[in-house]
Structure 1
Amino acid sequence: MWRVLLITILFFSPGVFAKLKYVLHISSYHPQYYWTLECNSGLQNILKLKAEIKTVYLDTKRILPDEYETNVRQALQEMHSSPPDLVVLSDDNALRLIGPYLEASTIPVVFMGINANPRDYFKSGKLPINMTGILERAPFMGSLRILKSIIPDAKKILILTENSQTSKAQIRTLIGSRDQFVVQGILAEVKILESWTAWQDTVRKSHQDYDVLLPSAYFNIKTDSGRYIPPKKVIEWISANSRIPVFVNNDLAVGENLAMGGFVLDGEAHGRMAGLQALSILEGVSPSALSPIVDEAGILYFNQKQLNRFNIVLPETTRQYANFR
């Protein structure tokens, strides 16, 4: 009798066999990219019991800008052939390239990994009422404070960045149109480099004028012949050829033959934040009722071999909350 009662309860209980929602996730990058992997994991962990997620990759790190259109068309075709209950747009290129097509749509949109002001990607200069999400703010100021605490004599830091949509948005958000700023007595100068040759020349000479090298965005670098250089290879070369400490903004770039340290955003936590907003919307909350959230919390990483290389001894207070790779 109890078995019949249990089956009856399960069968007639609302939501037990509820159909999963369909979420279309359009990512700016490629599936092997470390930030994408982390964000995907966080998003999936939140939505796995509520939604089926299909991810389409625009691959804008590895292809040239004049090739973007083909991948954008494929993403839009996927969206039109199977209209989703919600769209997730990951990183600036996805919002910039896909967002305007959804501006007048009734489909709710959650973005994540956005370095620029999201309003900048719409002709109206306003965030559409069907959109909200998570803003990515690289913790530059925190990085400089940490560097000052571990290298007290540091006076000048060189921030290097590629000439990409994401990197320009990062720098514009940080310091506007300036190319330098001061934090706790450290002068930080920003150089936007156009080519791999320029990166190599700048790194080799950096010790002449600076105390620390901070590569900020180096994920879209190509050789003069157009061949994509994986970020890890970039950092390996920079570390091997720099005569000053290298500090980065992603944890996988910290290691024995890589950077000395890094103060980074947690991609998985970032993805979970977006997932929670998406979950609220799928459960009936309007996107306009959810304000965009700024993610700028950092995690600190160091490599002991690289610290030893530059004769840097961490203060005990710093060592206690640092992670080592």
Structure 2
Amino acid sequence: MIAKRFLLLALLVIPTWALALPHVLIIESYHPENSWDREYIQGIKSKLDGMAELSFFSLDTKRLPTDDHLNQATLAFRFMHEVNPELVILGDDAALALMGPKLARMKMPTVFLGINADPTRYFENGKLPSTLTGVLERPQYKSSFALINELLPKARRILVLLDQERTSPILRDEIAAVADARVHVQIVTSFEDWKNKVTQAPEQYDAILLGPYQALLDMEQNNVDAQQVIHWTYHNSKIPLFGFWDFQIGREAALGGAVITGFEQGAVAGAMAKAQLQLPQQTQAVRPSSPARIMLSRSQIERWKMTVPATLRNRVSWLP
């Protein structure tokens, strides 16, 4: 009984700060409704729920004009000083470009995810600061083209459509480095131009591979909702659609792809953040992108009357 009373008294005198969870600030390049953001945040939470208190700030760079991005970064830093985190997680290239250099100068422990470019390009000396690490995002181009070849062995040409988002020129150059002459990449600014490319595609192409489409503008220069884009594209494309990311695949979306997932990106970043909080002085190497996962929609395979080769079936994650 005396021992129990002593333990209870000991717990009562522990200062409240010792029981507080470490604070982690997650800064999104995009916006909370974005499918990619939703997925990677769930991945982060799978590793940090109960281990850290989480705060969020959205830079909203897909929907806001470029001229507003620096102001968004200023607001993000202001919010960061209010919540005073022990660690910051940066989602995607825009956040790393806008926030990374200043966070490095502040010596703020930082973990990034979803980075398409070489992360060192965002720092003046071309070297990643020791306080930053994270996981890269590399769409699986070769695996994507190989999948199309398996499902459409007679395909002659493939159109890759990208919006005007910051990472699209990076994706275009990476595709050009690995693709053959059958693959044609086009960066599109407006939703109207996107519609025209999709409508005219059957004249030259046998399949469309969808890149980012969350930064298309309408006639009034407003951002078009991504669900509207994929819904229109599904209903109006006369040739099969493929995607690089899992959220693009489904019953009324692309029929399949060799995809990477936001959840896996977030889970890796969350695990790295957790390890950094537990052992702050350690240095963690940048992680490569996760391997591709083959996803196909059963209803879409039926719609296009495709035959899935036996060699492919045991590698497929099936969706409705």
TM-score, L = length of structure 2: 0.91
Q: Retained in 2: the 8 A contact 1:23–1:84?
A: yes
Aligned equivalents of 1:190, 1:174: Cα separation in 2 = 8
Post-superposition Cα deviations, 1:243-285, rounded to whole Å, max 9, x if no partner, equal 1110012333323332221322121121110011111211224
- The 1:279–1:15 alpha-carbon spacing in structure 2 relative to 1, beyond 3 Å, is farther
SS class of match (1:252) = helix
Following superposition, the deviation at residue 114 of structure 1 comes to 0.6
- Partner of residue 304 from structure 1, selected from 293, 298, 313: 298
**3-state SS of paired residue (1:293):** coil
Q: Which residue of 2 aligns with 1:201?
A: 196
Offset, 1:4 = 3.6
1:112 aligned to 2:107? no
Alpha carbons of structure 1 residues 22 and 322: separation in structure 2 relative to 1, 3 Å: closer
The percentage of counterpart residues that share the same residue type is 31
Q: Is the 8 A contact 2:114 2:137 kept in 1?
A: yes
Deviation string 1:211-256 (CA, Å, 9 cap, x unpaired) is 1100111111111212221222111212222211100123333233
| Counterpart for residue 129 of structure 1 | 130
Mapped to 2, the partners of 1:99 and 1:269 lie a distance apart of 22
SS in 2 for 1:59: coil
Amino acid at match of 2:215: N
Structure 1 match to 2:145: 144
Which residue of structure 1 aligns with residue 63 of structure 2? 62
Deviates more, 1:127-136 or 1:162-171: 162-171
Deviation at 1:155, TM superposition (A): 2.4
| C-alpha distance in structure 1 between counterparts of 2:15 and 2:259, whole Å | 43
TM-superposed deviation, 1:174: 4.1
Unaligned runs of 5+ in 1: none
Is the 2:147–2:257 Cα contact (8 Å) retained in structure 1?
no
Is structure 2 residue 187 aligned with structure 1 residue 192?
A: yes
| Cα distance in 2 between the residues matched to 1:68 and 1:52 | 26
Give the aligned partner of residue 243 of structure 1.
238
Alignment length, in residue pairs?
318
Q: Distance in 2 between matches of 1:44 and 1:324?
A: 24
Is the Cα–Cα contact under 8 Å of residues 36 and 247 in structure 2 kept in the other structure?
no
Q: Indicate the RMSD between aligned Cα atoms, in angstroms.
A: 2.4
Taking the aligned partners of 1:55 and 1:268, their CA distance within structure 2 comes to 17
The gaps in structure 2 that reach 5 residues or longer are none
**Equivalence for 1:87:** 88
Distance 2:73 2:134 in 1: 21
For 1:280, the equivalent position in structure 2 comes to 275
Give, in angstroms, the shift of residue 52 of structure 1: 0.9
Give 1:123's aligned amino acid: E
Give, in whole Å, the separation in 2 of the partners of 1:6 and 1:319: 59
The answer as to 2:225 corresponding to 1:230 is yes
| Closer, same or farther: CA 308–243 of 1 in aligned 2, 3 Å | same
Determine the C-alpha separation between the residues in 2 that align with 1:235 and 1:55: 27
Q: How far 1:13 sits from its partner (Å)? A: 9.7
Q: Contact 1:23/1:87 (CA < 8 Å) preserved in 2? A: yes
Whether contact under 8 Å (1:91, 1:113) holds in the other structure is yes
Could you tell me how far 1:99 is from its partner in structure 2?
A: 1.1
State the secondary structure of the residue aligned to 1:132. Answer: strand
Is the Cα contact below 8 Å between 2:155 and 2:206 reproduced in 1? Answer: yes
Letter aligned with residue 216 of structure 2:
I
CA contact (8 A) 2:242 2:257 kept: yes
Instruction: Give 1:221's aligned residue.
Output: 216
Distance 1:220 1:70 in 2: 19
Q: Judge which range, 311-320 or 126-135, deviates more.
A: 311-320
Residue type matched to 2:233 in 1? Answer: I
Report if the CA contact (8 A) 1:40-1:271 is conserved.
yes
Structure 1 residues 141-180: Cα deviation after superposition (integer angstroms, max 9, x where no partner): 111111111211122211111122122223334445xxx8
The alpha-carbon deviation at position 48 of structure 1 amounts to 2.1
Secondary structure of the residue aligned to 2:288 is strand
Q: Give matches, 1:289-300, under 5 Å.
A: 289-300=283-294
Given that 1:115 and 1:173 are in contact with CA atoms closer than 8 Å, whether structure 2 keeps it comes out as: no
Partner of 2:47: 46
1:80–1:6 Cα change, 3 Å: closer
Aligned to 2:79: 78
